[in-house]
Structure 1
Amino acid sequence: MASKVDQNEALKKENKKVLPFRYQFAAGAAAGISEHGAAKDGQGYTGVLDCFRKIIRNEGATRLYRGITAPILMEVPKRAIKFSSNDTFGPFYQRLFDVPALTQPLAVLTGASAGAVESLVVVPFELLKIRLQDKSSAARYNGLVDCLTKVVRQEGILALYNGFEATLWRHIVWNAGYFGCIFQVRAQLPDPSQSANPKAQKTVNDLAAGFVGGVVGTTFNTPLDVVKSRIQSVAKIEGVRGKYEWAWPSLGVLAREEGLKALYKGYVAKILRFGPGGGVLLVVYSAVIDMLGKVA
């Protein structure tokens, strides 16, 4: 394990210049686009490599990006806010707690804070997505616009924020794990400035740190993701208490009725996406930040 001094020195070397928020936001947006391009659904294939090989052979490389427009509607602002908020909270907490550089606890705190801000953006998108995907409710809607219209008309505008508390916790936990791991993993890896190929070493470090962060964040937040989907899939009826309403009590209900295994439904699929996706996000974000830093 690296000492706090080593961690602080490593972080200082990687974050010598704090760029304006607009550059952080743009870099996060670019990372969001790239992550969705890399994390395609593998249904109908024997594995990720088989999926890539067959799509490229049968449909061409450009088909790897089919259907990217709709996810970008949420993912671009979501990822942009994630990274720009994290980079903004870092210096804020350093000043607040009077510390010269980011530490492991502050990395976790900045990640959690970024997750809280991110959740404000994603809740309406998540609710509509869940309504359209859930078998019990999907038949009521004829598409995204129809779903939005019916939810607002039948349940009120605030219904778009049903499940906000669960979504808030989901993003706090994921981002705390993700950015906390990035800080720790980077501190254990070779210093890019001491490498024969600094750019390549930095890419490897970011890919490894982002991958570990994605796996850890997903491992911790999957139960919250499961209960969030349960909460958002059912329309609220005035005067009727729902089976799933608040995140932490819902975890208990789900575990008691369906077993602890139910809390990790879809875990493998999430790891296959958010492990590599977490690495891609960090690599692209760091690369764009470095590029913008040269012209800022």
Structure 2
Amino acid sequence: MDPEAERPQIIQATPLQQMAASCTGALLTSLMVTPLDVVKIRLQAQKNLSPKGKCFVYSNGLMDHICVCEAEGNKAWYKKPGHFHGTLDAFLKIIRNEGISSLWSGLPPTLVMAIPATVIYFTCYDQLSAILKSKLGENESRVPIVAGIVARFGAVTVISPLELIRTKMQSKKFSYKELHQFVIKKVSEDGWLSLWRGWAPTLLRDVPFSAMYWYNYEVLKKWLCAKYGLYEPTVMINFTSGALSGSFAAVVTLPFDVVKTQKQTQLWIYESQKISMPLHLSTWVIMKNIIAKSGFSGLFAGLIPRVIKVAPACAIMISTYEFGKTFFQKQNAQGQEY
């Protein structure tokens, strides 16, 4: 018997409740997978340091960071860990030379960015999915692909200027007045579009990731529910589906993740040296340079830590989000009974 045929009517969570569920998921995900993302970015960035080592690139949980390390001598960041020879080696050197807390460095400002990005992304996906399913049918396979692409496009576009401003704030301590002056100067010199630098490679990485992730997630979730004769997925089914679909999408889109890291690094170098942005820093040229310098394998730098990070990150995020929605759905249903 097809469980879809006898699916009972379910009271859906409201958009505000979906936002609360996504906030909880973003918080737990950032806390639990930050160290893996830090290692991933450092493995990618160690071959792309500026001559004086002033560029420090890392990522915590859901957002990337770029800071300027002005210290010289033995205290400079780029001299502390030495050269990493793999994921485990990076973990051990970071902990030994910088302390275990370094694996969570920059977490507070990351959460400030991660929470609105996650809220926009997951809430838009659910709302778009509901609209598309009402028009195309519940079993239409294109729904998760279209909804995932549009939701990610919107989230990246809205958050991109805030990420640039946050990056500037992390380079040194800024007052709100100084930050306002920086934004005004940036816009007057380079135009409003300068606030979206790094937007293209981010889209090239995140939009295909979202399309593949949501499609595979919905397919796996339905398959597992049908296999065990369930009307609704359990936490374990959501966790497993999220981990598997996230791992697959992470491997396919890794080259664009590497390019994004290097493009952001170069952008900050030119910004810190007050040099105008060179025209040749396109995504495809950077990709060609990586292949010429490190071979095709250079596009997959940090593969192991990215997969190890993305699998639990997607699993924790989606299972927490779905659990939160289910909780609110039950509360809504109980409220209607009274």
TM class, shorter-length: 0.7 to 0.9
Q: Would the alpha carbon gap of residues 255 and 185 (structure 1) be closer, same or farther in structure 2, given more than 3 Å must change? A: same
Aligned twin of 1:230: 262
Aligned twin of 2:71: none
Name which of 9, 30, 34 aligns with 2:4. Answer: 9
Q: CA deviation at 1:188?
A: 2.3
> Quick check: 1:40 aligned with 2:70?
no
Name which of 292, 306, 316 aligns with 1:280. Answer: 316
Q: Would the alpha carbon gap of residues 24 and 244 (structure 1) be closer, same or farther in structure 2, given more than 3 Å must change? A: same
% identical aligned pairs:
18
Q: Would the alpha carbon gap of residues 35 and 229 (structure 1) be closer, same or farther in structure 2, given more than 3 Å must change? A: same
Q: CA deviation at 1:162?
A: 0.5
Q: How many Å separate the matches in 1 of 2:222 and 2:124?
A: 22
Q: CA deviation at 1:86?
A: 0.9
Q: CA deviation at 1:111?
A: 1.2
> Quick check: 1:90 aligned with 2:125?
no
Native 8 Å contact 1:152 1:159 kept in 2: no
- Point out the more displaced range, 281-290 or 224-233: 224-233
Question: Could you tell me which amino acid in structure 1 is paired with residue 130 of structure 2?
Answer: P
Q: CA deviation at 1:249?
A: 5.4
Q: Deviations over 1:188-237 (max 9, x none)?
A: 21459846xx99x6111011011012212211222112222333332478
Q: How many Å separate the matches in 2 of 1:207 and 1:104?
A: 21
The structure where helix makes up a greater share of residues is 1
Q: CA deviation at 1:130?
A: 6.8
> Quick check: 1:68 aligned with 2:107?
yes
Q: CA deviation at 1:104?
A: 2.7
Partner SS state of residue 244, structure 1: coil
Aligned twin of 1:212: 244
Q: How many Å separate the matches in 1 of 2:263 and 2:302?
A: 17
Q: How many Å separate the matches in 2 of 1:228 and 1:165?
A: 9
Aligned twin of 2:199: 164
Aligned twin of 2:119: 80
Q: Would the alpha carbon gap of residues 39 and 214 (structure 1) be closer, same or farther in structure 2, given more than 3 Å must change? A: same
Q: Would the alpha carbon gap of residues 256 and 160 (structure 1) be closer, same or farther in structure 2, given more than 3 Å must change? A: same
Structure 2 residues without counterparts, runs of 5 or longer: 40-80, 82-86, 333-338
Aligned twin of 1:136: none
Q: Deviations over 1:150-194 (max 9, x none)?
A: 576355554221121222222211111211111111122145984
Partner SS state of residue 138, structure 2: coil
Q: How many Å separate the matches in 1 of 2:315 and 2:144?
A: 17
Q: Deviations over 1:72-96 (max 9, x none)?
A: 111111111121111111122234x
Partner SS state of residue 9, structure 1: coil
Native 8 Å contact 2:35 2:104 kept in 1: no
Aligned twin of 2:185: 153
Q: How many Å separate the matches in 2 of 1:63 and 1:254?
A: 28
Q: How many Å separate the matches in 2 of 1:252 and 1:64?
A: 31
Q: Would the alpha carbon gap of residues 261 and 87 (structure 1) be closer, same or farther in structure 2, given more than 3 Å must change? A: same
Q: Would the alpha carbon gap of residues 101 and 190 (structure 1) be closer, same or farther in structure 2, given more than 3 Å must change? A: closer
Native 8 Å contact 1:178 1:217 kept in 2: yes
Partner SS state of residue 41, structure 1: helix
Aligned twin of 1:137: none
Alignment RMSD (CA, Å): 4.1
TM-score with structure 1 length normalisation? 0.73
Question: Could you tell me which amino acid in structure 1 is paired with residue 30 of structure 2?
Answer: H
Q: How many Å separate the matches in 1 of 2:146 and 2:114?
A: 23
Q: CA deviation at 1:239?
A: 7.5
Partner SS state of residue 24, structure 2: helix
Aligned twin of 2:304: 268
TM-score with structure 2 length normalisation? 0.65
Q: CA deviation at 1:243?
A: 2.6
Q: Would the alpha carbon gap of residues 131 and 227 (structure 1) be closer, same or farther in structure 2, given more than 3 Å must change? A: farther
Native 8 Å contact 1:115 1:173 kept in 2: no
> Quick check: 1:20 aligned with 2:14?
yes
Name which of 18, 21, 24 aligns with 1:30. Answer: 24
Native 8 Å contact 2:254 2:300 kept in 1: yes
Bigger Rg over Cα: 2
Question: Could you tell me which amino acid in structure 2 is paired with residue 142 of structure 1?
Answer: K
Structure 1 residues without counterparts, runs of 5 or longer: 134-140
Q: How many Å separate the matches in 1 of 2:225 and 2:132?
A: 27
